[in-house]
Structures are given as C-alpha cells and as structure tokens.
C-alpha cells in the first residue's frame, strides 16, 4: 500500500477500496471509480508499481491489498517510530508524491489530473518543493542566459 501511495498519490480510502477488477496490468492503468470528488479517474502505472502489484499475485477480482484499516494504522505508526520520523501521516505520502512529481516533470496540469483536483490552486498546495530545488532551477536558467559582466563592469549580451 505504501509503495502504491508513493507512486500514484492515491488517497488511503482509494487504496483500501482498490479492487483487482480496476487494475489493468497489461495497459498499466488503475481505474478509480469512486473518488473524493465523486469523479472517476485513470492513473497510469510506471514499471515499479506494475512489478510491485504483480508480486502480490494478480487476481481477476477482489481487494488488491485486503489490509484492515486498524492494521494499516498500527503498522504505519510502528514504521514511523522505527524510522524516527515524527509528525508524518499516511496522507503525507500523497504530498510526497506530488512534490517529487512536480520537481521532476514541472507539469502542474498533469499532476492536477493525477490527484483528481478540480483546481490548480489545490494542486499547488500539495506540490511542496524540496529545499534547493528552486536554486538548481535558477542555476540552470542562469547558465543558459547570454549575459556576461564585461571588463568595464557593465553587463553585455553575448548572444552569438
């Protein structure tokens, strides 16, 4: 469940409700028929998630995970304690997915669709950038700009 949450941004309730009938391993799609917004959506699966789900033993029907809510809560809490992670909830995995997706793709409209949000503003609340991410982006931008400081202390355009 944790891997699926990290690789899709699915909500805990969506993970609990996920059934094999709504997973298409061949097409690499997850169909979420009942979401928080009430709108169905399709989630493409990357190789890692396909392999993870396949390792569970793909079935024609039934729950994908079959983990009771209380079991998930207890094991998640114990994992956070063992990893010495504080103030982290299961829902924060959704934010983690969003942050990593946006840092690697920069594609806010796609992220909005994947998360099932109706507005870009809501999606932006989820996409927290890692420290240093914007600095790396500005460095890449800066190195591509054809502007140099001349010997006289004035900037000049160095476009060939």
Stretch 115-135: mean pLDDT, rounded? 73
pLDDT of residue 159: 60
What does the DSSP 8-state code read for residue 38? S
Contact 53, 45 (CB under 8 A): yes
From the candidates 27, 36, 75, 137, give the one annotated as an active-site residue. Answer: 36
From the candidates 78, 91, 125, 137, give the one annotated as an active-site residue. Answer: 91
Burial code of 95-129, b = ≥16 C-beta within 10 A, e = fewer?
A: bbbbbbbbbeeeeeeebbebbbbeeeeebeebbbe
> Is 137 marked active-site?
no
From the candidates 27, 31, 94, 131, give the one annotated as an active-site residue. Answer: 94
Q: Which fold has domain 2-126?
A: hpI Integrase; Chain A (1.10.443)
Stretch 106-113: mean pLDDT, rounded? 86
Ordered by start, the domain boundaries in the chain are 2-126
pLDDT at 130 over 60: no
pLDDT of residue 133: 63
> Is 91 marked active-site?
yes
> Is 31 marked active-site?
no
User: Which segments within 33-154 are labelled E, that is strand?
Assistant: 41-44, 147-149
> For residue 147, what pLDDT band results from cuts at 50, 70 and 90?
low
Residue 73: Cβ within 10 Å count: 13
pLDDT at 115 over 80: yes
Average pLDDT, the chain: 85
> Is 128 marked active-site?
no
Phi-psi region at 45: left, alpha or beta (left = phi > 0; alpha = psi -120 to 50) = beta
- Using alpha carbons, select from 40, 48, 36 the residue that is nearest to residue 7: 48
Number of helices (H), then strands (E), belonging to the chain: the values are 8, 5
């Amino acid at each position: 469940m944790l891997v699926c949450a990290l690789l899709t941004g699915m909500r805990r309730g969506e993970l609990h409700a996920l059934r094999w009938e709504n997973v298409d391993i061949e097409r690499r799609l997850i169909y979420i028929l009942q979401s928080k917004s009430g709108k169905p959506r399709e989630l493409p699966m990357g190789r890692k998630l396909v392999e993870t789900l396949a390792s569970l033993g793909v079935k024609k029907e039934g729950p994908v995970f079959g983990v009771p809510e209380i079991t998930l809560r207890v094991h998640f809490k114990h994992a956070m304690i063992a990893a010495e992670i504080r103030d982290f909830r299961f829902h924060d995995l959704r934010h983690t997915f969003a942050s990593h997706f946006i840092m690697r793709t920069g594609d806010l409209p796609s992220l909005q669709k994947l998360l099932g949000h109706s507005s870009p503003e809501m999606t932006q609340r989820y996409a927290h950038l890692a420290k240093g991410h914007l600095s790396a982006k500005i460095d890449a931008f800066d190195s591509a700009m054809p502007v140099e400081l001349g010997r006289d202390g004035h900037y000049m355009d160095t476009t060939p």
